[in-house]
Amino acid sequence: MGRRPPGPQRSRIRLAPRRGHTHHDAHTVRSTLRGETSRWYRQRHGPRSRVRQPWSPALTVELTPRGTLSEEALRELEEKLGFALPAEYRAWLAATNGADFPVAAQLMPRGLDPEDDLYGHRTGGDRQTELLYAHGYCRDVLTLDYLPVTRLTTGIVAIKVTEPECGSLWYWSESTLDTDEEYTPEYISTHLLRRVADTFAQFLELWEIDPTSPFLDSADPERTAP
């Protein structure tokens, strides 16, 4: 681990309270899979052609979008955030207003589980599905160069909103911190983030269904895990 950053303006890490692992609870996870995100991807990038992991059968991750966002709502969101959203991510938000992960979704290649869904704006649900809320609670962790798009059980995934590399996706793992130490957002953003994808579309392509998950059977009795 890098050394503790010097200077008096260090702030102790503070994260939003954890929710239960709702993505692993078959009674609370919605298993209805819809294709809005897939259509959005195909319109911009053509048909999917991905190399799957050797252990993974052809189980496609289909996100459940929450609706759409008007241009007026997007401008309101950007005004409250204080910056313009990366163009590709902005187009995805306009088409989906965030999205819910299906049962047993994992971020590959590390097999990381989602704690929250993909954030939106004025979703009408839990505040932890809101971009503005996530943007606020991450101020002790990330600089204003990064906007959280979801939270994993092990950390945060954020999109870079400034140049260079605007629109790229980055992952911060809570395991990189010593809980007895203090770190600035500048130190974390400079030294402890790991690149996930160059674009938001690539980030969406990294999600796989874990075919060994017992929650697949619970969510869909007709589906059996290998």
- Nearest to 91, CA basis, from 144, 132, 44, 127: 44
Domain locations in the chain as residue ranges: 22-47+57-216
User: 179 falls in which pLDDT band (50, 70, 90)?
Assistant: low
CB atoms within 10 A of CB 140: 15
CA 60, CA 51: separation in Å to the nearest integer?
A: 12
- Alpha helix (H) ranges present in 57-130? 71-81, 87-96
Tokens of 191: 């030294």
Q: Give 187's pLDDT tier (boundaries 50, 70, 90).
A: very high
Rounded to two decimals, the pTM is 0.71
Query: Domain 22-47+57-216 class?
Result: alpha beta
Express each pLDDT in 75-131 by its tens digit. 999 999 999 999 999 999 999 999 999 988 999 988 899 999 999 998 887 787 899
Q: Residue range 38-60: average pLDDT?
A: 42
- Residue 77 burial (CB count, 10 A): 20
Place of tokens 């897939």: 38
